[in-house]
Amino acid sequence: MRQSTQWLAPALLSMAAAAALTVAAPAAAQAPLKMAYALSQQSHYGAAGNAFAKTLDEGSGGKYKVQQFANSALGGEREVIEGLQLGTIDVAVLSTGATMNFVPSAAVFDVPFLLRDLDHARNVLDGEIGQNMLAEFNKRGLVALAWGEQGFRHLTNNVRPVSTPEDAKGLKIRTTENQLHIAAFREIGILPTPMAWPEVMTALQQGTIDGQENPLSVITSAKLSQVQKHLALTGHVYAPAVIIVSPSVYESLSAEDKALFQKAGKNAGQAMRDFVSDVEISGVEQLKSEGMQVTEVDRAAFAKAVEPAYKDYNKRFGEKLIEQIRNTQ
């Protein structure tokens, strides 16, 4: 009898341990959601990431945690989009320069000199046109939660100050892989050089390109004043961003959790806008203090220089849509 008891004790302990694991399993925290974006966590992208993570954490009572992968740690934006489609990346903040290859119609917001100012751009994106465009992402294996924002793009270079289109001619400028931007730059006489963002700083340091173009939110957070002398406030293109979640994540959620993710996306987009509104006021003075020479430009002259490209823009997106955007109040 004693021998039988000795044999049972370890077996009972093993069964008890297995039962404990079984009970504990449902309570175990799930793996954090992987969130990717191109810039630092101190940037407007990071502001979106922090707002998204906070909203999910608080709204779910800690069920959803977010691990942020800043500075293109999970690859360039094209790779991130593919990761979202495959389910290897859960959430991302992306520029429309990358998404236009997947949702071509959303590129209309990148038409140069179409959106007048931040208020105009935000009204367009928050209205029927912008919301209908978010729905287009669902047809491309992506779930777009909300529009974010980068601000208006400006030109920097190491060669000379730029005030007129004539000043910009011949400059070798890094652009995104955005054919709308490239077409406009060619009309001005700029030599556009498409390049992935992780390669830009090295290219500027080595002088393989003269400059680049980005919103103040990027120019300040990426510390481009360390490698660029001149900033021209061209405001040539409004740069939206979009907060996207992988369908493999979103479709597995309950209706309640989907609503929470939608809220997190909107809060992330608003955090980007707040960041941009602040940097539009403080960014120029910051860059001046860091040694950049800042010039105002003849914006009307730049807009006139790119007018020939509108023939293609109207054909591509429809003149009616472009006029609807232009006339939005």
Tens of pLDDT, residue by residue over 11-69, are 434 444 444 433 333 334 589 999 999 999 999 999 999 999 999 999 999 999 999 99
Domain that includes residue 222, residue range: 30-327
Handedness of CA 93, 94, 95, 96 (dihedral sign): negative
Task: Compute the distance between CA of residue 299 and CA of residue 185 in angstroms, rounded to an integer.
Answer: 14
Query: Can you give the pLDDT at residue 141?
Result: 86
Structure tokens at 113: 């000199």
Q: What backbone phi and psi angles, to 5 degrees, belong to 84?
A: -65, -40
Place of tokens 């232009």: 326
Q: Radius of gyration of the chain from Cα atoms?
A: 24
Residue 13 lies in a domain: no
Query: Can you give the pLDDT at residue 12?
Result: 38
Task: Compute the distance between CA of residue 109 and CA of residue 277 in angstroms, rounded to an integer.
Answer: 19
Residue 225 lies in a domain: yes
Task: Compute the distance between CA of residue 250 and CA of residue 107 in angstroms, rounded to an integer.
Answer: 24
Residue 62 lies in a domain: yes
Query: Can you give the pLDDT at residue 29?
Result: 58
Residue 15 lies in a domain: no
Residue 49 lies in a domain: yes
3-state SS assignment for residue 306: coil
Residue 131 lies in a domain: yes
Query: Can you give the pLDDT at residue 232?
Result: 98
Look at the chain and report how many structural domains it folds into: 1
CATH of the domain at 165: 3.40.190.170
Contacts of 241 (CB under 8 A, 6+ apart): 44, 45, 48, 93, 94, 95, 96, 147, 148, 149, 150, 269, 272
Residue ranges of the chain whose pLDDT lies below 50: 1-28
- pTM here? 0.84
Query: Can you give the pLDDT at residue 128?
Result: 96
Residue 19 lies in a domain: no
Residue 9 lies in a domain: no
* pLDDT, tens digit, 9 for 90 and up, residues 229-260: 999 999 999 999 999 999 999 999 999 999 99
